[in-house]
Structure 1
Amino acid sequence: MNQDILRSYKILDGEDLSMTEILALSKIGGEDLLDLVSLSYKVQKKYSPSIHLCTISNAKSGLCSENCSFCAQSSFHHTDIATYPLLSFKEIFQQAEKAYQNGIRHFGIVTSGYGYQKVNEEFQTILHIIEKVKKDFPDMEICASLGVLSEETAELLVRAGIVEYNHNLQVNPEKYSTLISSTHSINERIQTIKILKKYPVRVCSGGILGVGETMEDRIKLAFLLKNLNVDIIPLNVLIPIKGTKLEGQQKISPLEVVKTFALFRLIVKDKVIKFAAGRETIMKDFQGLIMLAGANGFLTGGYLTTKGRRSEDDKEFLEALYEFQE
């Protein structure tokens, strides 16, 4: 076995791995990659054994003022996605009800746009939806992903009943303005995470792979998320969408994705690492390998502007995964 991997087994005894050690592991390949996957799986089983499943509602789509390079919803891009204002109270509630009937107990409300730093009519509607879902489905966990927040709006969301808030940092902060967006700063996003960490809610923050970053960039992002003590780390793999700045971006390989997930697990050993966009389209037949490389969560039922697998298929997938956990 590769000596760097052997030395890394100390993580199972409670020791953390340094950035230098992780960078050394990032250089391995060939048959050694499966040994790395095996170690990451052991770490996941020991420190974060449960599997996290959720579905999301694209409650407000398109016309976003920000110029995020990968995003089909940016007003800077010309894509053929559906654009619409905030869905009605009834429409979002019906989506939550359907998810509940399909056995999903974690429902996320996602809106396009910079965020909500002040309370307006739209934000109040979202608060009422959260309160209604919590009342009718007490065991349904509500997550929100609404962009940048202020102290005021964060507190109101918590009081309404959210248990989790998603706010991705996307890439190594040093590369954010060049790889992701120049219309807002990474510090604004980090500040929102710090505000939310004051409350008893889980913070969900991760990144996107394949936008031009290096493996070292991904590792730096993972260590930042560890230092911010986020609870859930969703990793998306870029799906190049026609009309966006990254429409011609070369797709990264399944092997690169597997290695990235394995390294993230060795850095944030006790957190949920969730596979989001790209699971079906990029990984295809290899998506199960990601769940054996340290991931222990995934989105089901589709993403914001791209389709995913049917929830029924993912339920079968989940049942098979549980056999590996026994």
Structure 2
Amino acid sequence: MNEPILKQAADISLGGDTLPRELADALARLDGEAVLDLVALANRVRNRFAPPFQACSIINAKSGACSEQCRFCAQAGTHATHAETYPLLSAQTIADAAHSAYESGVRSFCIVTSGYGMPRVDSDFEQVLKAIDTIRARCPGMGVSASLGMLGEETARLLVERGIEHYNINLQTAPERYAELITRTHSVQERIDTIKLFKPGGVMICSGGILGTGETMNDRLSLAFTLGELAVDIIPLNILVPIQGTPLENQPPLPAIEVVRTVALFRLINPRAVIKLAAGRESVMNDFQGLLMLAGASGFITGGYLTTRGRSVERDIAFRRELDIFASAAETVP
């Protein structure tokens, strides 16, 4: 019964086309050994169409005291998480972190700040621009990106003029359930509007979500198709790390097979995007991290996240070398 569904998916996906929604729904119901067939197909699609593997590092350049009450986030000012709080770091401190990543072999670096966003030019925004310039001077060839929340036309334009590699702003979950699952302090449409500001300037968009907030598989598919409609270039997928003091502190973890199935479906729905694993790939997925990569992922964030630790860059570089061998071998799976 599963073979016709998988064959139909292969015919479409290996031709470079996006799955129709009804076929994605059918694939989402696969279980048992059929999930490994889905993984093998997603790996073949990744090898055929996805851009080269991408590893990047981020810096939490402004932490905590956030006005946006995202239910999963340690940095929300209303959550008693005791997350570290500090104002925007100096341009030199940000550049030092970028240079450390650069010396480890990482060539993509993102400046991340807490808060609603930077809809207008202020002293913080000018400091971010200075940091971008400083990184460029010290790290030739390093792509510099930003994740500053919601923007206005002027702040987006200035980032485009600075030649940022990509702008990150996650949609997090199905747009129709954003207020219920994530926050009511701003709308998902504000995030979508920020994405659209960058399209005329040709800057790549990095936008994904977080798995395990109480969403259904239907919600995940809705997110995947929405990102495809927005022509997002990079899709980071986080796996919820429940943090004490947040409304999701007791949220049960997703079964590993559910995460693997989700990553594979994101690949088949967005065959040409970079699908980048982020928070939770090590701490939540543990022994299944490699399987996630073979399920169609084509990048990861290395060296740590905003408020949770990751693995060292050196360990991840070795991990990637081994993955390249397995990904090539898996291509021969019928």
Report the TM-score range of the alignment, normalised by the length of the smaller protein: over 0.9
Shift of 1:268: 0.2
Match of 1:4 in 2: 5
Question: What whole-Å deviation, never above 9, does each CA across 1:260-307 have from its counterpart, x for those lacking one?
Answer: 000000100111000001110111011000110000000000000000
Structure 2 match to 1:91 = 93
CA pair 156-211 structure 1, distance change in 2 beyond 3 A: same
SS of equivalent residue, structure 1 residue 198: helix
1:9 deviation in Å?
1.1
| Code of the aligned partner of 2:109 | F
Question: How do 1:154-173 residues align onto structure 2 when only pairs under 5 Å count?
Answer: 154-173=156-175
Q: 2:264 aligns with which of 256, 259, 262?
A: 262
Q: Which runs of 4 or more aligned residues in structure 1 lie more than 6 Å from their structure 2 counterparts after TM superposition?
A: none
Distance 1:200 1:321 in 2: 31
Q: Report SS of the residue matched to 2:285.
A: helix
In structure 1, the partner of 2:245 is 243
Q: Any idea what SS the aligned residue of 2:283 has?
A: helix
Tell me which amino acid in the other structure corresponds to 1:179: L
Cα deviation, 1:173-205, whole Å, max 9, x if unaligned, reads: 110001001000010000000111121211000
Amino acid at match of 2:7: L
Question: Where does structure 1 lack aligned partners over 5 or more consecutive residues?
Answer: none
DSSP 3-state at the match of 1:142: strand
Q: Aligned with 1:44: secondary structure?
A: helix
Give the Cα–Cα distance (whole angstroms) in 2 for the partners of residues 199 and 245 of structure 1.
38
Q: Which of 174, 177, 180 is 1:175 aligned to?
A: 177
- Cα pair 2:45 2:268 within 8 Å, conserved: yes
Letter of the 2:315 counterpart: D
Say if 1:179 and 1:211, in contact at 8 Å, map to a contact too: yes
Determine helix, strand or coil for the equivalent of 2:284.
Answer: helix
Name the structure 1 match of 2:43: 41
CA distance in structure 1 between the partners assigned to 2:196 and 2:63 by the alignment = 26
Q: How does 1:11-26 map to 2 (within 5 A)?
A: 11-26=13-28
Partner of 1:135: 137
Deviation at 1:49, TM superposition (A): 5.0
Is the contact made by 1:265 and 1:294 (CA closer than 8 Å) also made in structure 2? Answer: yes
Deviation at 1:163, TM superposition (A): 1.2
In 2, Cα distance between equivalents of 1:16 and 1:283 = 27
Rounded to whole Å, the distance in 2 between the matches of 1:262 and 1:188 is 28
Is the 2:276–2:299 Cα contact (8 Å) retained in structure 1? yes
Per the alignment, residue 63 of structure 1 pairs with 65
- Determine if contact 2:235/2:274 at 8 Å carries over to the other structure: yes
Once residues 181 and 191 of structure 1 are traced to their aligned partners in structure 2, the CA distance between those partners, rounded to angstroms, is 17
How many residues in Structure 1 have an aligned counterpart in Structure 2? 326
Task: Tell me, in whole angstroms, the C-alpha distance in 1 between the residues paired with 2:23 and 2:87.
Answer: 47
AA partner of residue 7 (structure 1): Q
Deviations 1:141-185, CA, capped at 9 Å, x for gaps: 001000001110001112123111100000001100010010000
Q: Is the partner of 1:165 in helix, strand or coil?
A: strand
What TM-score, normalized to structure 1?
0.98
- Structure 2: 5+ residue stretches without partners: 329-334
Corresponding residue of 2:125: 123
User: By how many angstroms is 1:325 displaced?
Assistant: 4.6
Distance (Å, rounded) in 2 between the aligned partners of 1:82 and 1:133: 24
The 1:14–1:106 alpha-carbon spacing in structure 2 relative to 1, beyond 3 Å, is closer
Could you give the per-residue CA deviations for residues 116-158 of structure 1, whole angstroms, max 9, x where no partner exists? 0110011101001101111222200001000001110001112
Equivalent-residue separation in structure 2 for 1:194 and 1:116 (angstroms): 16
Which deviates further from its counterpart, 183-192 or 9-18? 9-18
AA partner of residue 151 (structure 1) = E
2:279 counterpart letter in structure 1: A
Match of 1:311 among 310, 313, 316: 313
- Please point out which of 210, 213, 221 is paired with 1:211: 213
Query: Corresponding residue for 1:72?
Result: 74
Cα distance in 2, alignment partners of residues 188 and 15 from structure 1: 29
**How far apart in 2 are the matches of 1:90 and 1:270?**
36
Contact 1:280 1:287 in 2 (8 A): yes
Aligned-pair distance for 1:74? Answer: 0.2
